Structure formats: C-alpha cells, structure tokens
Amino acid sequence: MAKRSTNRIKFKLWQPTITTEYDGAAAEGVFYAACSLLGPQRLELIKKLQAKHAELEAVGR
C-alpha cells in the first residue's frame, strides 16, 4: 500500500448548481476551493493567506 502524503486536503462543496469533490495536495485543494468563493470572500482569503505567509516567513518556516 502506497504511503499518502501528509500535506493533503479532502473536501466536498455543495452549491445550488454544482457539487465539487477534491482529495489531493493541500495547495491545489485550497485553489479549487477558492474558485467556489464569491469575489469578496476570495479577497478575504487572499488577505489571510498573505498575512500567514508573512508570519511564517518571519519565523523562518
């Protein structure tokens, strides 16, 4: 049995016109999930990711 990467994400989104499922790499999953957000929600996610990125860079991660 192949070992699965620990940096994975699995989700299922239900929307009025479409259902989306994903099981794979975390970064790719976040991208696909973000595509389902409305513009203001996507911008808020981007701000949160940028802030977390700056925080992690500051501590050397």
Report how far residue 23's alpha carbon sits from residue 56's, in angstroms, rounded to the nearest whole number: 25
pLDDT at position 46 over 90: yes
Q: Residues 6 or more apart from 29 whose CB is under 8 A from it?
A: 8, 9, 10, 11, 22, 23
pLDDT of residue 1: 59
Tokens 């808020």 belong to which residue? 44
Flag whether pLDDT at 41 surpasses 90: yes
- For range 34-51, the mean pLDDT: 94
Structure tokens at 60: 């050397």
pLDDT of residue 24: 93
Q: 């790499």: which residue's tokens?
A: 25
Q: What tens digit of pLDDT does each residue of 5-37 get?
A: 678 999 998 888 888 899 999 999 999 889 888
Q: Is the pLDDT of residue 3 over 80?
A: no
